[in-house]
Structure 1
Amino acid sequence: MKVTSTAISLNVDDVTASADFARDHLGYERAMAADGFVSLKRGDAAVDLIFLRRGIEVLPEGLREQHTAGLIVALVVDDIATEYDRLSAEGVPVVVPLRTEEWGERLFVVADPNGVHYEFVQWITPEAGDAGN
């Protein structure tokens, strides 16, 4: 098997709102779109995003009405402080403020209008981190 790309499909109520959020704040570009469907890509290693409107017939019957929940899209970045400042200045809802975990993970989490959560991560050596943020 040879994998040529990776995508995650997320069921949401408002496909346009999630797609616009990913475009405006996360640097994604629209690759394909149709009624109830948007596929987004970036030019780097980020996972492709597919937003599907809940209830759309392309979804298996048992999943059609489910809303994306309990899932976090993680994006590893080079300069987490800059991303935190940028997204905060853009008014993006921060649901977990910037912090450093003892194992060397620096992170924060934001949410889009449909409640899709994005975790920004930067790996650091634990002694280089600032435990407060």
Structure 2
Amino acid sequence: MPKAPTTPTAAITTTTLSLTVDDVAASREFFTRHLGYTEQAAAEGFASLGRPDAAADIVLLARGTEILPPEQRDQRAAGLILALTLATGIKEEERRLREEGVRITMPLREEPWGERLFQITDPNGVVVQFVEWA
């Protein structure tokens, strides 16, 4: 007989997305320049980025770094979409990013269920999707 699920007792205080990339500096520049992240800490092959709002923190790790378990060292951030939900202003956000020279990899569209979204991709292939509910 399966055990009944339990309720976690530890409070989660933040969410951090750890991404393994080939060029930490390129992703760090992209996220700080275009997406409002600030560098919290950095070392060779590592950068920790944060924002003062509810967005997830981001840790960038250089592919091949020794601090990762061997089976994870050569993996790249792939098949992942970092979705950032906006309260309003998605059209203006897409225009701002386009004017800054960011390549829009999926133009703004509205899904039948009321989700408005567009995507950009950082220099290491990390897909960032902006979402606004209509």
Per the normalisation by structure 2, the TM-score is: 0.91
Deviation at 1:60, TM superposition (A): 1.2
Which letter maps to 1:17?
Answer: A
1:75-113, Cα deviation, whole Å (9 max, x unpaired): 011210010000011111111000000000000000011
Aligned counterparts of 1:111 and 1:22: Cα–Cα separation in 2: 11
Deviation at 1:73, TM superposition (A): 0.3
Aligned counterparts of 1:91 and 1:12: Cα–Cα separation in 2: 22
Which letter maps to 1:5?
Answer: T
Q: How does 1:1-133 map to 2 (within 5 A)?
A: 1-77=10-86, 78-124=88-134
Gaps of 5+ in 1: 125-133
Aligned counterparts of 2:77 and 2:69: Cα–Cα separation in 1: 14
Matched residue count: 124
**What percentage of aligned pairs have identical amino acids?**
52
Which letter maps to 1:68?
Answer: A
Q: Aligned with 2:71: secondary structure?
A: coil
Gaps of 5+ in 2: 1-9
Deviation at 1:70, TM superposition (A): 0.3
Which stretches of structure 1, 4 residues or longer, exceed 3 Å deviation after superposition? none
Aligned counterparts of 1:50 and 1:73: Cα–Cα separation in 2: 13
Per the normalisation by structure 1, the TM-score is: 0.92
The structure with the larger Rg is 2
Aligned counterparts of 2:114 and 2:68: Cα–Cα separation in 1: 39
User: What is the RMSD computed on CA atoms of the aligned residues?
Assistant: 0.5
Which letter maps to 2:13?
Answer: T
Aligned counterparts of 1:69 and 1:119: Cα–Cα separation in 2: 14
Deviation at 1:4, TM superposition (A): 1.1
